[in-house]
Amino acid sequence: MTMAASTDAATPAVPTVAPAPERVGERWSWAPYLLSLPGLALFAVLLLVPLAMTALLSLNSFSFYGGIQDVWRFDNYLEILADSYFHEVFLRTFRIAALVTLLCALLGAPQAYILRRMTPAWRSLCLLIVLGPLLISVVSRTLGWALLLGSTGLLNQALMNLGLVSEPIEFMYTETGVVIALTHVLVPFMVLSVWASLQRLDPQVENAALSLGAGPSTVLRRIVLPQIVPGILSGSIIVFALAASAFATPAIIGGRRLKVAATLAYDEFLNTLNWPLGATVAILLLLANIVIIVGCNRLVERRYKQVFE
Amino acid sequence: MSYLVLDRLTKRFTSWTAVDDLSLTVEKGELISLLGPSGCGKTTTLQMIAGFLDPNAGRITLDGQDLLAKKPNERGLGIVFQSYALFPHMTAAENVAFGLEMRGTSRVDRDRMVANTLKLVGLDSYGDRYPRRMSGGQQQRVALARALVIKPHLLLLDEPLSNLDAKMREEMQIELRRIQRSVGTTMILVTHDQSEAMALSDRVVVMNKGRIQQVATPQEAYDRPANAFVANFLGRTNLLPGTVEHDQNGTSIAVADARWPVIQAVPPGPGALAVRPEKISFVAEAGLSGIVQARVFQGTQWLFEVETAAGRMMVIRQHDGGVLPNERERVMVGWRPEDMAVMPAQEAA
Ligand SMILES: Nc1ncnc2c1ncn2[C@@H]1O[C@H](COP(=O)(O)OP(=O)(O)OP(=O)(O)O)[C@@H](O)[C@H]1O
Ligand SMILES: [Mg+2]
């Protein structure tokens, strides 16, 4: 009773005092939007507009004599979806990207873990070696791989001189060659990403597992690995996206014979001059990339939800 | 042969010596506390026993076996880490179950033991929470449960109760003491809480700058500190300079205009004595004369500050109706010889 009475007594005072400061807080503030306008404008001009133009272009049609026709149809999409040649190219693209991602995870994650266990002096040296390739242009690195992988290249000569093979193995213009070169190009991204999540690991947590009787391999599997899943996942997303849309490496190692989506789009634009079809390839590549990445992301996040908080 | 023997352990981090020539023996079933200011090497000592740090010199034996030859995962110790070190990707129950799983305990036994231990630390309804969703005190209790559930012979506790409220801390103290008594677990406890160390330990080890200052029962360390550091570290104390003399009547120490017989063996020459404020009383004769500078009423007791020729002293008297001096009054203070600790001058620095 007394409680009710006191609230009743207090109520009349509320409307006269409380709303005033509330209105100040609720007033629409333009400052943050105005301040981010330059950034938003840059983003729109450099990304959204070209993307929208590509999407529109993909709806046009192309005739060999008339050039680009201003029509709005899904013919290009239907053509790609119906033609087994395009299926093959897209399948190859994602097969390569998936393999490269897997290899990068298998190589990069242990590499990052080993780096963390090193003494600081060795660690900075090895980190430089791992990340150094990022400082060299992709084209020159890939040309280097072409020299190594060619039928008279260093690798084949070594294998033949060792008597391991009698004929040179064909790496150039094969998926194997593309996968090897792309893995080399992209593994630093995985190392960096796993490295970042390893930094957040408390070394005493590993000690705790040891003290409870877990052997080193159990600690790695049950304690370390689950905690660096977010790092491996974000590394995989970066590597997969870069591998699926890579151009220079497949162009040099894969050449004309072994097309992937990016080289296919390039050829449609610059050789066949069928810009709308090229644009369609690019848009489909983008869409497939988004679907695959978001899908995998969801799956892994659900499986390891507690480490993602 | 003692159960756990630390023999001249030394640990250096580049140029800094964290633990310096530390020797200690611990008996089976004993609860021993490491006390000392922050950074004195308590955690480092435990980490060497656990095997996470290799000592630069020295030996450790447990039950007669060389412990340093064993890997950390073969030592079978229970450890509560200062930083808890819970597995963040496992629930509280999974954290506690991990050690049992490694020991190959069957699923049924495991579930029962985990439930019992979580109940013991008052977390029975928190089994499926992840550590991130728990408060600091709850996490600390999971860490305690994780170490207790494997029933180790030797338990290393690095400030295991620091984050608990007073009531929970008291309950856990009683629990630790009960386990130590009934199961006979040997425990090494690091704590910042002196009353906790005093209440729980069979013996306390007072450390400073990586070196052991004194190993004694709590009462002994309090009543008869080995040096000025221990005297000051464990509660408040008065430290007075004096001169130790040996003659036909035995040993005595002269402080300003007064003299006390000395029971301990101390070499003659410059020395110092330490005496607790509550052991000092106002006497009529044979004491140290001085003037009361201040007196403060503290409820159950009075706190006096007395200026003497040997220096300023703190005196605590019970508020029991007795006659006590006023401020600016000339008084004489005294204490029984067995209530003071006498040490050579270099120990008092
Ligand atoms: N990995 C390390 N590298 C260098 N110095 C270290 C390292 N670990 C500890 N130290 C130093 O060794 C000393 C002892 O550290 P330790 O952790 O044992 O202190 P502590 O007694 O447990 O302190 P606290 O009560 O604050 O936990 C400290 O001065 C600390 O700076
Ligand atoms: Mg510590």
Instruction: Return the residue in A117, A201, A211, A301 with the most chain B beta carbons within 10 A, the one to mutate for interface testing.
Output: A211
d(CA A277, CA A274): 6
Axis crossing angle, helix A225-244 with helix A275-303, rounded to the nearest 10: 180
pLDDT for residue A71 is more than 60: yes
Confidence band for A211, pLDDT divided at 50, 70 and 90: very high
Task: Write down the pTM of the prediction.
Answer: 0.81
Task: Judge: B132–A309 Cβ closer than 8 Å, yes or no.
Answer: yes
Output the CA torsion sign for B98, B101, B107, B108: negative
Q: Which residues of chain B have pLDDT under 70?
A: 349
The ligand placed nearest to the CA atom of residue B20 is 1
Q: Nearest CB to A205: which of B85, B99, B102?
A: B85
Decide if B13 touches A, using CB distance below 8 A.
Answer: no
DSSP for residue B327: T
Contact at 8 Å (CB) between B145 and B175? no
Residue ranges making up the domain that contains A182: 71-308
Chain A residues 208-227 with CB within 8 Å of chain B: 208-216, 218, 222-223, 226-227
Decide if A8 touches B, using CB distance below 8 A.
Answer: no
Residues with CB under 6 A from ligand 1: B 13, 16, 18, 36, 38-44, 82
> What is the best residue among B43, B47, B84, B193 to mutate for testing ligand 1's pocket, by most ligand atoms within 8 Å of CB?
B43
Residues of chain B with CATH 2.40.50.140: 237-348
Residue A220 lies in a domain: yes
Task: Judge: B83–A223 Cβ closer than 8 Å, yes or no.
Answer: no
| Inter-chain contacts counted by CB atoms under 8 A, chains A and B | 70
Chain A neighbors of B88, CB-CB under 8 A = 205, 227, 306-307
Q: Which amino acid is at A262?
A: A
d(CA A86, CA A267): 13
Per-residue pLDDT of A29-44, as tens digits, reads 888 889 999 999 999 9
* Closest to B261 measured CA to CA, from B280, B270, B248: B248
Q: Residue A309: its pLDDT value, please? A: 64
Residue A147 lies in a domain: yes
Query: What is the per-residue DSSP string for B294-318?
Result: EEEE-SSEEEEEEEETTEEEEEEEE
Sheet with strand B211-216: strands edge to edge: B78-80, B154-158, B186-190, B31-35, B203-208, B211-216
Residue A49 lies in a domain: no
Q: Nearest CB to B73: which of A205, A214, A222?
A: A214
Q: Domain B237-348 is of which CATH architecture?
A: Beta Barrel (2.40)
Q: Domain B4-223 is of which CATH architecture?
A: 3-Layer(aba) Sandwich (3.40)
Residue A29 lies in a domain: no
Taking the CA of residue B48 and the nearest CA in chain A, the distance in Å comes to 12
Decide if B70 touches A, using CB distance below 8 A.
Answer: no
Task: Judge: B72–A216 Cβ closer than 8 Å, yes or no.
Answer: no
What is the number of structural domains in chain A?
A: 1
Cα radius of gyration rounded to whole Å, chain B: 24
Chain B neighbors of A227, CB-CB under 8 A = 88-89
Q: Residue A4: its pLDDT value, please? A: 40
What share of chain A in percent tops pLDDT 90?
A: 54
Reading the block at residue A11, the tokens are 């109520």
Q: What does the pLDDT average to over A70-87?
A: 90
Taking the CA of residue A119 and the nearest CA in chain B, the distance in Å comes to 13
Residues of chain B with CATH 3.40.50.300: 4-223
Taking the CA of residue B37 and the nearest CA in chain A, the distance in Å comes to 22
Distance from residue B16's CA to the centre of ligand 1 (Å): 10
Per-residue pLDDT of A88-134, as tens digits, reads 999 999 999 999 999 999 999 999 999 998 999 999 999 888 888 88
Contact at 8 Å (CB) between A279 and A77? no
d(CA B277, CA B258): 18
Reading the block at residue B121, the tokens are 């630390």
Reading the block at residue B91, the tokens are 């629930």
Q: Nearest CB to B98: which of A207, A209, A216?
A: A209
Give the containing element (helix H, strand E) for B245: strand B238-247
Chain B neighbors of A223, CB-CB under 8 A = 87
Q: Residue B322: its pLDDT value, please? A: 82
Q: Residue A26: its pLDDT value, please? A: 60
d(CA A202, CA A207): 9
Task: Judge: B98–A214 Cβ closer than 8 Å, yes or no.
Answer: yes
Q: Residue B236: its pLDDT value, please? A: 87
d(CA B109, CA B100): 9
Cα radius of gyration rounded to whole Å, chain A: 28
Per-residue pLDDT of B22-56, as tens digits, reads 999 999 999 999 999 999 999 999 999 999 999 99
Decide if A115 touches B, using CB distance below 8 A.
Answer: no
Contact at 8 Å (CB) between B131 and B107? no
Average pLDDT value over all residues in chain A = 86
Per-residue pLDDT of A143-176, as tens digits, reads 998 889 888 888 888 888 888 888 888 888 899 9
Chain B neighbors of A222, CB-CB under 8 A = 98
Residue A33 lies in a domain: no
Q: Which amino acid is at A260?
A: V
Residue A118 lies in a domain: yes
Reading the block at residue B245, the tokens are 């003399």
Per-residue pLDDT of B263-298, as tens digits, reads 888 899 999 999 999 999 999 888 999 999 999 998
